[in-house]
Structure 1
Amino acid sequence: MEHTPAWLTYSLIYLGAAVIAVPLSRALGLGAILGYLGAGIAIGPWGLGLIAQVEDVLHFAEFGVVLMLFLVGLELEPRRLWALRRPIFGWGSAQVLGCAALLAAVAMAAGVPWRTAVVAALGLALSSTAIALQVMAERNLLPTPSGQAGFSILLFQDVAAIPILALLPLLGGSNETQAASGGDRALEALKIVGVIGGIVLGGRLALRPLLRWIAKSDTPEIFTAASLLLVVAIAALMQQVGLSMALGAFLAGVLLAESEYRRELETDIEPFKGLLLGLFFIAVGMSIDFGVLARQPGAMLLIVLALLVCKAVVIWGIAAPMGIPLAERPVFTLLLAQGGEFAFVVFQAAAGARVFPAETASLLVGAVAVSMLVSPLLLVAVDRWVLPRFAGARRTLDEISEPQATPVIIAGFGRYGQIVGRLLTAQGIPSTVLDHDADMVEAARAFGYHVFYGDASRLDLLRVAGAGQARVLVVAVDDRDQSLAIVRLAREHFPHLTLVARARDVTHWNALRDHDVVHVERELFESSLRSGRTVLEVLGHEPAEARRLTMRFRRHNIELFEQMYLHQQDRTRLIAVAKQGRLQFEEQMARERAEAQARRARGETREKEWDEGRSQAPPSAGVAPQPAEQPHSGPS
């Protein structure tokens, strides 16, 4: 090992720790960020001690921070920011400033110096974008009011981290900063304004021609290298005038976000994004001073409690004016109450600018890491004990109470049930529509649809809806378990009803067939066939031929499903039937294509022979052609 380069050894350690820790952390439901932090702790001075020179690692990882902020700027297109300016800058600033003000007030009341209190409060006011967005995506919350509000606030926090970093040198405690005269400060301010203005104007004028010239080389790695060179150059220039390199990287990202090469840059750099962020978080984990935490466990606990409680109070307070339903507020509040990854950047930069000592930075970083660690556990507690209490707060409507008498009952009036209902209405066929989502019912009524509020899995409501006299029950609900509950209820109490059901997938389709539901439609099957037919037409098939091929595939698929249904309990046999059916169909279609090509070839040959036969009269050399089979008339 003595001849192994240090960078190779470090790379081996970093990558090995990440590969082991991150999958383990995700398997435990803690997320990738905590996995990287854990990897850094494990290999750092307070773990296995594989890396001792933490300062050198932090300097190397600083480039990961620069690239992280470059990617943030690359995603923040100015037009997008302007379109979302009100929710982003309005509620986002209210959250950040409100949380920072309350945290700073609590800290100063506890005797913390005002510089330390302000910077600590600004860093703690930020939330984890990665964790919050991941939880929202897993719970399908992004389309909801709380998801949209959370996304806007997180987007503002990513932007707010930039001026916070730019503020740190002004709050630094170095002697040079304290002794600077008013003229020197004015000169420095002019330099900063001049450099930023030059970067913006020069970037707008020179960036596109430069990237266009580089793109003409048709060398992708040089294009990526040029973008990185731009980031490093602007970051170095910003550092020369006393500003953070991260601010320069952000400006570079915003400039590239406006160029036509943005997508190519994102495609080239995206594979490195997670790894670069991971390198930074590993370095942060290594830099956590557990000696400080061990010496001040009470202080760390108080910081974590103050962080969660103060932020929760402010976020809960602004949730109502933002229009977030009461049932969505607990998860929304918890996701934004935890500390965030940008706090690591702020506290490390603050220690470097001498706003507060490194020991304080380690204490704050540890508190943020603990808050991110306990958030998944608190989320489980919220799901188990808090959300059920808010279930009664969901908005409800009066249930269906007047008996109905229509030939068709539609259970579920979402995107699927609406199409069925509109088709029946267009043909003058009345139907009774039930839906248990109050928001959906009110939205449908606003568009003029007659929809009743009620749960079709309840026997009393089905009777009031007229199930005893109806002929057809359309089960169009989205939830699989509720769909099967409605089917079981109808089969037991209303056996005369013809059931037409919507299936989400193959498993749901099989379950419905187990209940003798014959008329089952997979929700994406027909639309997918239509898209496939369109693809065939675009590729040159005649519309009639494309339709014939599509219908052939439809019949084959339905027949194959019927065969597979018989073996649904035997996975091995099921897979064998599916493979055999698919292979037979592909071979049959290949034979038909070959036969069609042969027929076309024979037809072309006959046509060619016929055409040649009409014009065949090969003349002798130098003799004018004479009509074939032309008899001579008269004497010579």
Structure 2
Amino acid sequence: MSAELSSHGLDKIVVLLVAAITMVPLFKKIGLGSVLGYLVAGLIVGPFGLRLFRDAGSVLHIAEMGVVMFLFVIGLEMRPKHLWSLRKDIFGLGALQIFTCIGALTLLGLVSGYSLAFSLLGAAGFVMTSTAIVFQFLAERKQLADPPGEKIVSILLFEDLLIVPLLAIVALASQSTGGGQEVGSSGVWGIVFPIAAMVGLIVVGIWLLNPFFRILSLAKSREVMTAAALLVVLGTALAMQLSGLSMAMGAFLAGVFLAESTFRHQIEADIEPFRGLLLGLFFMAVGMSLDLSVVYANLHFVLAAVVAMMAVKAACVYAVARVTGSPHRMSIERAILMAQGGEFAFVLFSAGAFGNLITAEQEAMLTATVVLSMVLTPLAVILMYRLLKDEEKSLDGVEKADGLSGNVLVIGFGRFGQVFCQLLLMKNADVTIIDSDVDIIKSVSRFGFKVYYGDGSRLDVLRASGAGTAELIAIAVDDKEVANKIIDLVKSEFPLAKILVRTWDRTHAREVVTKGVDFQVRETFESAIVFGEACLKTLGVSDEEAADVAQRIRDLDADRFELELAAGNSDAGREVILGNVTKPEPLVKPKRIQPEGAVQSSPS
């Protein structure tokens, strides 16, 4: 197995796929996440594992397209106006964090006895956070659009903007030491080209991309649209790379310019399969790049450098976050998530070695340090979320449930509760409302709702909320287990109260019915019936007939539900009930919508 695989390429693809589908599900199953699974898979099949691949650099070069496509998809979700609103975070917060980290990490290197060139280059490389790892974690937790996620995105964008000046500094420093190439007039072009590329990208993105996709859509070919989407992503990435800028930033900006396009969703769907596969390949390539021989030969340096640099960078990120007003928990999350070095460090270290600022051995040591920090980040993030307790929210301005009474007790005041309570309040019912979400309580108080703080799954809170005197207890919490627990408590301690429950789905509905509640309704069932009734009316069905169909569906669903209860499983009566729905002739003959002025042909 140590021999190099054949040169046909297909066997290499099979090896990568086998490694990925073996390790990623395993690591997700044990709670370590997909990123670490890809990294370990790459390490196993790479040149320092089973040696099924000898050139990790070539794989990494191809896999960088995964990061490019990922950033393009992120850009599609961020409209230009929204990006402009983040300019203070990009150039303010981003600059503050980057320069603080560079200063602290450079000082760490100098204190440890290394030269200024080595310390500064190592700091500049390590301060560049891994865009792929951070975005992947934010995407998995659906935090990209949240304010904390947007701040991290802003910092990463500023890091991408620093690529050109950092490479220019390395080139100038190399020239002063007699290494590298002459800068001369190329230094001017090194600034002009990136600016020209950015201006060109803006012009193309605003005025040409939409007409381009509109013309191609006339071909009505999915393959053509997919090819066009790939052309836009790879073309902008190539243009940015040739101008000296980041490929990922070019793809991100292309996505931003297409965010307002009517073809945005189609493009995103076309890119998604390539993005997922190539991003996974990127993580595997990073795992392959971990040179275990270098780590073993310089074990003390690499381990000490990884721990020290990650700790110093995390401390700086945390300090900057706190100074700029972020709460404690959010600051810790940002610090741990951004504590590692990034893929751009490989380019910077290579340029430094080419310019004789560092030796080839030092380059390998720094590269191993960055790669190991990327490997350790998923573990650090997982450990953080397991150890970090949720912050207790302030109860200032929120009144706890105590000594309350009323005819109706409502538990849970989310979207569902806010709607049905309006009916009760309109008829002047004596309603007491409790909820355990402080944010909801504070939010609805601005609209005149009086909601008390209390956990309805606790018996003492139910007593304090007036459950003992309530004629009706309405349970509208959005957690099935909590709802079931409340039902059990009410049935046991307050048997005279009527229980009405909002259920999650059919399975939950059967559970609460068997518990003996007086009424239950699935949270989306009636709204879906009303929506379907409106669809029928739009198709030309009369109001009376549409209402009759809606009632028939309600009756059929109720019959099916009774059969399921009797049989004790969700499949009971499925064929019978669904068969009854599909037997009648269509109520409305489907109509083909014709463009204005078109003539509809007669049926043959």
1:558 counterpart residue number: 558
Secondary structure of the structure 2 residue equivalent to 1:566: helix
Secondary structure of the structure 2 residue equivalent to 1:25: helix
* Residues 1:197 and 1:337: Cα distance change in structure 2 (over 3 Å): closer
Whole-angstrom CA distance in 1 between matches of 2:563 and 2:583: 23
Pair 1:303 & 2:305 matched? yes
- Summarize deviations over 1:84-119 as a string: whole Å, max 9, x none: 334555444444444343333323332344444445
Letter in 1 for 2:579: E
Residue 294 of structure 1: CA displacement?
0.9
Residue 512 of structure 1: CA displacement?
2.2
Pair 1:345 & 2:335 matched? no
* Residues 1:277 and 1:484: Cα distance change in structure 2 (over 3 Å): closer
2:86 aligns with one of 59, 72, 84: 84
Tell me how many residue pairs correspond in the alignment.
578
1:400 counterpart residue number: 401
Letter in 2 for 1:344: E
* Residues 1:432 and 1:289: Cα distance change in structure 2 (over 3 Å): same
Letter in 1 for 2:286: V
Letter in 2 for 1:303: A
* Residues 1:421 and 1:536: Cα distance change in structure 2 (over 3 Å): same
TM-score (norm 2): 0.82
Q: CA RMSD in A?
A: 3.8
* Residues 1:109 and 1:83: Cα distance change in structure 2 (over 3 Å): same
Pair 1:443 & 2:443 matched? yes
TM-score (norm 1): 0.78
1:154 counterpart residue number: 152
More helix, by proportion: 1
Q: Which one is further off, 222-231 or 161-170?
A: 222-231
1:37 counterpart residue number: 39
Residue 316 of structure 1: CA displacement?
3.4
Q: Kindly name which structure, 1 or 2, has the bigger radius of gyration based on alpha carbons.
A: 1
1:621 counterpart residue number: none
Q: How does 1:216-615 map to 2 (within 5 A)?
A: 216-226=218-228, 228-229=230-231, 261-320=263-322, 326=328, 328-329=329-330, 332-333=333-334, 335-339=336-340, 343-352=342-351, 354=353, 356-357=358-359, 359-379=361-381, 381-383=383-385, 385-387=387-389, 390-391=391-392, 395=395, 397-401=398-402, 403-568=403-568, 574-577=569-572, 581-593=573-585
Contact 1:127 1:157 in 2 (8 A): no
1:23 counterpart residue number: 25
Whole-angstrom CA distance in 1 between matches of 2:534 and 2:153: 39
1:614 counterpart residue number: none
Whole-angstrom CA distance in 2 between matches of 1:480 and 1:166: 53
1:167 aligns with one of 151, 165, 169: 165
Whole-angstrom CA distance in 2 between matches of 1:166 and 1:308: 24
1:7 counterpart residue number: 9
* Residues 1:243 and 1:562: Cα distance change in structure 2 (over 3 Å): closer
1:46 counterpart residue number: 48
- Summarize deviations over 1:563-619 as a string: whole Å, max 9, x none: 322343xxxxx2541xxx23323433445438x89xxxxxxxxxxxxxxxxxxxxxx
* Residues 1:554 and 1:95: Cα distance change in structure 2 (over 3 Å): farther
Residue 497 of structure 1: CA displacement?
0.8
* Residues 1:430 and 1:227: Cα distance change in structure 2 (over 3 Å): closer
Contact 2:94 2:159 in 1 (8 A): no
Q: How does 1:185-200 map to 2 (within 5 A)?
A: 185-200=187-202
Residue 199 of structure 1: CA displacement?
5.0
2:598 counterpart residue number: none
Q: Which one is further off, 80-89 or 315-324?
A: 315-324
Contact 1:411 1:433 in 2 (8 A): yes
Secondary structure of the structure 2 residue equivalent to 1:500: strand
Whole-angstrom CA distance in 2 between matches of 1:550 and 1:34: 50
Whole-angstrom CA distance in 1 between matches of 2:584 and 2:243: 74
Residue 41 of structure 1: CA displacement?
1.6
Secondary structure of the structure 2 residue equivalent to 1:474: strand
Whole-angstrom CA distance in 2 between matches of 1:423 and 1:443: 20
Q: How does 1:610-621 map to 2 (within 5 A)?
A: none
Letter in 1 for 2:333: F
Letter in 2 for 1:150: P
Q: Which runs of 5+ in 1 are unaligned?
A: 569-573, 598-636
Whole-angstrom CA distance in 1 between matches of 2:547 and 2:262: 39
